[in-house]
Amino acid sequence: MKSSYLITALTLVLTAACFANSSPTVTSVSARQRTDGSGIVDIWYTLSDADSDRCGISISVSDDQGTTWDVSASSFKGDLGEDIYPGRRHIIWYSKSDLPGEYGTNYRIKVMALRKDVLINGNQINELEPYNKAWYVDFQGWVPGEYWFINNEGLNVVGSGDYIPAITTVYTDFSTLWVKVKMRMEHYSEGGIIITDNPIGSQPLFNYLSVCCRPIWTDIFVNYVKNGEQFHEQICEGCIYPWTWFDISIKIADNHLKVKINELEEKEITFKDLSFDENYKLTIFGKKDWLSGISDITFNKLIVYSALESVGCGVSNVFNVNNRDSITVNAVNNWDGTVTVTWTDRGGVRLIRQEVGNTSNETGWSVNGGYFKDTLQPSGFKKKYVYIIRNLSGTELGRSGEVMPDIVVVLIRGYDPNPIGDGISDKYWTSDSGEQNKGLVANVHSWFEESERNITCWDASTMLSGEKNVEWNCEVLDDFISQNRTGDYENAKVNLIGHSMGGLISRRYAYEQDAYIQNVICIQTPHTGSPLADIAGWFAGEAGENLKPSFLKTFNDDYPLDKTTLYSFYSDNYTDVLGKFLYRKANSHITSSPQFTQYDEQSDGAVPLLSGYGWIYKKDTYGDPNYGTYVEQWLPLIAVGPMKDTCNNGFDHSTGYRHPDTLNKIMEWLGYPQADKFYFQKMKIQGLEQSDPENLPLYFINGFTGQFHNAQPVSNTVKIGTSSNAYFRAIVTDPNAVFTLIDPDSEVIDPVTADSDPNIIYDQENGIMAYEIVNPNTGTWTLSLTTLMTELNSVEYGLTVFEDQFVAFSVTGEKDWANSGQAMFLMAEIADNAGAVTGAAVNADIVLPDDTVESITFVDDGTGGDAVSGDGISSYTFTTTEISGKYNVRAYASGTTASSDSFERSAVATFTVSQADIAVSGSISEEGVDTNQNAFYDLLRFTVPVQVSLDGAYRLTASLLDSNSETVSLVNSGTLRLTSESGSITVDVPAEDIVNNGAAGPYILHGIKISDGDSGLTIAAAENYTTAGYLISDFEPKDTDKDGLPDVLELSIGTLIDNPDTDGDGVTDYEEIAYGGDPTRYDPLTDSNPFEAVTDGDGMTDGYEIKYGLNPLIDDTLLDLDGDGLSNIYEYENQLRPDKIDTDDDGRNDKWEIDNGRDPLVYDEYPRNDADIDLNAVINRLDLLILCSQWMDAPGTPSADIAPHGGDGIVNFLDFAVLSGSWLSEVIAPQELSEDFESEDFESGDFSANP
């Protein structure tokens, strides 16, 4: 019976060979990786040919859905290469060999049929012929009747020879075709392939490429000659031998020559300028016995494989490649109430969150894609969890380490106005009983930790000082947070909540420690300063100095928050900042200075609206020692990155930070809106007197600060112009100090004389002494302070002087940065109500980064940056030094107005200087990039060409604006390491930003700057760049849940846009809708139902059926996909694999283990034999029947492909031989049998048949 079987099997083997003379086609290409961890990809295709001729088959692999086909892959077996019969064919790709450890979801296979033209067959050159033959083919096809003889001297001799058969194929492209010749030769011969622009022997070969074989040295080498320049490289050594047939194949593309010997591994060489035109010819050449003249060279055949048109090429479906051997699960606490879980993706699985120590507390999700973000409710905070990945059968595949989700807030106090206290108070965030009756929370720290919020709160008030400056408090805050960031909170990212100056401390700390900061929340923080700090002067202490606009301008420049999210509260319900804090007299003539006019109508009583809201000074600042104006430029765009949100809480400065409305808004910003949220109610402060709007404003002249004692009183002078009002103010910590004035006529003005003079108003309150003088004398005034305090108890003071004479003075730079050695125009402008003020003396001191000072004088002569002489605008051309860093300009102006009023003014400006280590070197370009090849741009890519003169770290920043100048996206390249050469910086704008903006192009890349990655100094800039026109529809539609289906399609279908698996069946909405082949529409007749976990109602989830190759559209419960004797529904209900007879890979099929009392999900050590095809512990008739059914043409991965070990992709006589040699061999050890399994049955073969 065995002999009969062998004869029958032999008849299946075809031996005829035919050469293709028609165009074959490739259709129905499919590819899928096996799920058994082997990495094997089964590739099926249908090859058709009208003449049933054999053809050549080649394979290309893409990992980007077919955009490119450059994946290096060579581990193929099966129906590819030469002489492939038409029919349904199968190729096995051992992807783990080519792509070890790789994972991807965008793979595709391209199967190409090649027409095989045998152009030379069986021609031979022997020793009887005096010359060697060679044939050539040009780009117009073979030329019949022509041939070339060449001898060793390279002479061209015409003689008799074989005709080369004419063919119709036009051989035109080396880049897509392999040209192969089969040959053999004697020891001292040479031969191979040559491409030349002139016939061999007709003249010296000036331009040619040759692949030459030399059996005596067993090597092959390449020569390439171009315009007389020669390149030489050895291909291999020990790869050919005398009198041994071998194949040489070549392929040329993009300056690359690829050479294969005997279809083995390719050798690729890159040559400069490797190119050919229509004048070149391909020639097969041989040179006989260059030593003795006696030798044979035999050319068996020349084969040219010609690429076909589209009918000869088929592309597979998109499939996954997963060559990862195990699943690693990582859980990261984001410290915002969420946990990010990632794992090595292996298709649809179950993700479980399990509480440590309480395994009954589990929450699970059906997930896919290797990424999931778990958002917990506050009740789940401060508990430890592990995240577990299980397959759909419930088997654990991996688990994470422990993680404890939580939110941490840090309370940071503000300025303490009490000069007597030490500024440290643990009561800062608490309210007294009277305040609590007004609705304020008793204790903010406790409020955050109450059960309904359950977040961790650290109060830094007991360590921070309200009278110390920002820098001091930052250092203390760093110690405080470090002490608390221990144990489970070692890696905590905290939320800083700062009230007033505490917001500045928070921003400063976040700038240095951004990696540890989640959000910065500022409550009524003077981001750009408060006029109170200027008016209070030195009395505010070192902390008050940090609240001055002049300080905050530098602060905002130095400490931008470009990584940490910023939120800000402000208030606009209170007016008259100066009036509230300084004057309570109904007849006071003191009003807001003009530089404070933006504050007059809107503030919280201490912090102006615009400062709390986050506006920044772009040109100048007001106050001591500067003044200037606002420009409408948001703080976030200049100083702190995109401000996430702002809120007008409407409360006053001293209570709003403890109100539940404010705190509930903070919870909302943290991602947890409160059910008991209050509505904001604006509160009125009673009893405040408003400024008289009819009074003229006051303008700042100058200010002084310092210390004095009884032996060294204060005496400072200032020039008052023609004013109707002047205001002199002193703030002194000694309540007994005496403040006097001496006018230009040497008259002394003190509190006593002020009482008797109706033109002088004197006011004293809480250490503040102030004179308001109507119609002051024009000239120099002296301000004096005396005290009884000794030097050991020196008194601090601050003096400021205002007048209502309008003379505005400003100083600006041509730009805010320059390279070293560049000239920069500094501009000064003076004006009053009548217009420009001319003839004034303008001088300045420029303080360099090394603290050296350069004094300069501005001129108004129409030179430099001053366009017109005598127009009140003066300039100075400053040539920057080699010192990099910040340059501070302090300018002074004095003179007389057109109405003969004398004046003095001062102003400041800053700019930075950097080395010209990089420059923009060409035109900027942009392109839309479609990364997933679905006809939508996924990003807009900008390329900025640069020339780098010094290796270093650089960063490019810009803003992408729409045609309405609205910000589309903030562009930031990140820090890049660039070397000293020409190159480019590429920045991408995600399509999501453009789609969210909603405006069509063109777009403008604005404010393009390149800065030093370490110092942050601007080094180079470029002009604005305008893109081409784009439609919103050009860009990738929004896909909120990243399931592959655009939101607009999901909304039309009805699937969820924020959940990739609407029905929770373990397969994404995209996979269900694409099941029938078209992912752009849902067809209930051909697609899996994304709204039903079990589309066909057979009890098995769609995810299980799709994953394991079952059909989710039909009831296939009683079928047996893998043929192991167990129905599909049985395997589903028992967590077994329906596509695999041995779920646990232990060498026994699932049914055998169940029948013998073993667990098919638990790996056991069994003896193995490759011939036991059905894994039932005996080699018998069943194995033979399986082998027969798969003989020579089995689909998928033939289980009978057992030889050689690991299989060769086809079932043939090798496999039969192994099976025959093991016939009726015992595989199972006796002790493995269950008690009811009788060994004599095994020995007698009762459950098998003898073939």
Q: Using CB atoms within 10 A of its CB, is residue 1241 exposed (0-12), middle (13-18) or buried (19+)?
A: exposed
Confidence of residue 576 (pLDDT cuts 50, 70, 90): very low
Can you give the length of the chain in residues? 1251
Q: Strand, coil or helix: what is 141?
A: strand
Q: If residue 1242 lies in a helix (H) or strand (E), which one and from where to where?
A: helix 1239-1244
- Residue 1085 CA: distances (Å) to CA of 950, 1068, 1070: 64, 18, 16
Given a contact cutoff of 8 angstroms between Cβ atoms, the answer to whether 923 and 876 are in contact is no
Of 210-224, 559-573, 1233-1247, give the range with the top mean pLDDT: 210-224
Task: Give the pair of three-digit tokens for residue 66.
Answer: 């077919």
- Any long-range contacts for 1191-1200 (C-beta under 8 Å, 24+ apart)? 1191/9, 1191/12, 1192/12, 1192/13, 1193/87, 1193/88, 1193/90, 1194/90, 1195/44, 1195/88, 1195/90, 1196/42, 1196/90, 1197/34, 1197/40, 1197/42, 1197/92, 1199/1141, 1199/1173, 1199/1174, 1200/1173
Dist CA 1209 CA 78 (whole Å):
5
SS3 string of 15-79? CCCCECCCCCEEEEEEEEECCCCCCEEEEEEEEECCCCCEEEEEEEEECCCCCCCCCCCCCEEEC
pLDDT tens for 441-455 read 889 999 998 888 899
Q: Omega before 1002 cis (within 30°)?
A: yes
| 8 Å CB contact between 803 and 901 | no
Query: What is the per-residue pLDDT across 1141-1167, written as a single tens digit (0 to 9) for each?
Result: 888 888 888 988 888 888 888 888 788
Share of the chain above pLDDT 90, in %: 19
pLDDT for position 253: 66
Tokens of residue 1031, six digits: 């439609």
Q: What is the pLDDT of residues 54-108, one digit of tens each?
A: 777 888 999 999 999 989 898 998 888 766 888 888 899 999 889 987 878 889 9
Q: Is the pLDDT of residue 940 over 70?
A: yes
* Helical ranges in 1039-1145 per DSSP H: 1047-1053, 1069-1073, 1102-1107, 1128-1133
Nearest Cα residue to 1009 out of 1063, 970, 1060: 970
pLDDT at position 197 is 65
Q: Name which residue leads in pLDDT, 298 or 1126.
A: 1126
Q: Report the distance separating Cα 864 and Cα 883, nearest Å.
A: 23
Q: With cut-offs at 50, 70 and 90, classify the pLDDT of residue 198.
A: low
Confidence at residue 263, expressed as pLDDT on a 0 to 100 scale: 65
Residue 413's alpha-carbon distances to 416, 425, 436, 477, 670, in angstroms, are 9, 9, 19, 11, 20
More confident residue, 808 or 331: 331
- For residues 574 and 1183, give the distance between their C-alpha atoms in angstroms, rounded to a whole number: 92
**In Å, what is the CA distance from 1109 to each residue of 1046, 1104, 1138, 1139?**
27, 8, 8, 7
What domains can you pick out in the chain, each with its CATH number? Answer: 2-113 (2.60.40), 127-295 (2.60.120.200), 326-399 (2.60.40.10), 417-669 (3.40.50), 699-803 (2.60.120.380), 807-913 (2.60.40.1930), 918-1034 (2.60.40.10)
Sequence-ordered strand ranges (E) for 709-746: 714-720, 725-732, 738-742
Alpha carbon distance, N-terminus to C-terminus of the chain: 6
Average pLDDT, the chain: 75
pLDDT tens per residue, range 1044-1094: 888 878 887 888 888 888 888 888 988 998 888 888 788 888 889 988 889
Q: In Å, how far from its chain's centre is CA 248? A: 46
The continuous run of DSSP H or E covering 367 comes out as strand 358-367
Kindly tell me if the per-residue pLDDT of 242 is higher than 70.
Answer: yes
pLDDT in tens, 691-714: 332 333 466 677 777 788 888 899
Question: Residue 885: pLDDT band by 50, 70, 90 thresholds?
Answer: confident
pLDDT value, residue 283: 64
**What pLDDT sits at residue 567?**
87
Cβ burial, residue 485 (10 Å; 0-12/13-18/19+): middle
In this prediction, residues 928-943 reach a mean pLDDT of 88
DSSP string across 252-283: EETTEEEEEETT-S-EEEE-TT----TT-EEE
> pLDDT tens for residues 258-314?
888 876 666 778 776 676 665 566 666 665 544 443 344 444 444 444 444 345 788
CA–CA separation, 423 and 884 (whole Å): 38
Q: How many CB atoms lie within 10 A of CB 311?
A: 13
Give the pair of three-digit tokens for residue 830.
């003076």
